[in-house]
Amino acid sequence: MKKKQENTANTSGFLSERDYLKKRSEGYINLIKNMDTDMLSQTGGKEEFMKKLQEEFGTTDPAQLPIGILAKCFLEHPHDVHTLDLSSSVILKHYVIGEALPPDFEKARNTALHNAYAFVEVYKDKFIVIHWDGTATFLAKAIDSIVNFFSGGDAK
């Protein structure tokens, strides 16, 4: 018998580190996994997605939510990643190999391309890497820059 995941709404508007690292629901993982083909298009679906995001995190405070999602793109070559940019009017955009991403997203590109991860939640001050089973791992933006530097990437 599956234990029902409770929706514990955060009424304080503040998410703790523990909140950010809680296991993501299967519905949320599927929503992101299928964003190429399902609900989202380049011009619509933002309101519905924001509602689902707020339900997942239990808060409606936009400062506590990701500014976007970066994921591996499964469209044919030469596409490599797509962004779900919640601060833009074009929320879903597909990028080809080598095409520059928005600054807040670029440092997470290599991580998003890794097969061990479903996607990366992008915040102003951090990345949260979401594994296929829904577990979450914190990745500081500064640490990502150091990793890129030592791996021969661009250390902006």
What confidence tens digit (pLDDT) does each residue in 47-60 have? 777 888 888 888 88
Contacts of 89 (CB under 8 A, 6+ apart): none
pLDDT of 96 higher than 80: yes
Q: What is the mean pLDDT of residues 23-45?
A: 73
Contacts of 102 (CB under 8 A, 6+ apart): 68, 83, 85, 88
pTM of the predicted structure, to 2 decimals:
0.77
Mean pLDDT is highest, among 9-13, 70-74, 149-153, for 70-74
pLDDT of amino acid 136: 95
pLDDT of amino acid 45: 67
Q: What is the mean pLDDT of residues 90-104?
A: 89
Say how far apart CA 54 and CA 10 lie, in whole Å.
10
Q: Quick one: DSSP state of residue 76? A: S
Top pLDDT among 96 and 34 is at 96
pLDDT of 105 higher than 90: yes
Longest CA pairwise span in the chain (Å): 49
What confidence tens digit (pLDDT) does each residue in 133-152 have? 999 999 877 555 555 555 55
Top pLDDT among 98 and 153 is at 98
Contact status, residue 105 vs residue 123, Cβ threshold 8 Å: no
Q: What percent of the chain clears pLDDT 70, i.e. is strictly above it?
A: 74
Residue environment code for 137-150, b if the CB has 16+ CB neighbours within 10 A, otherwise e: eebeeeebeeebee
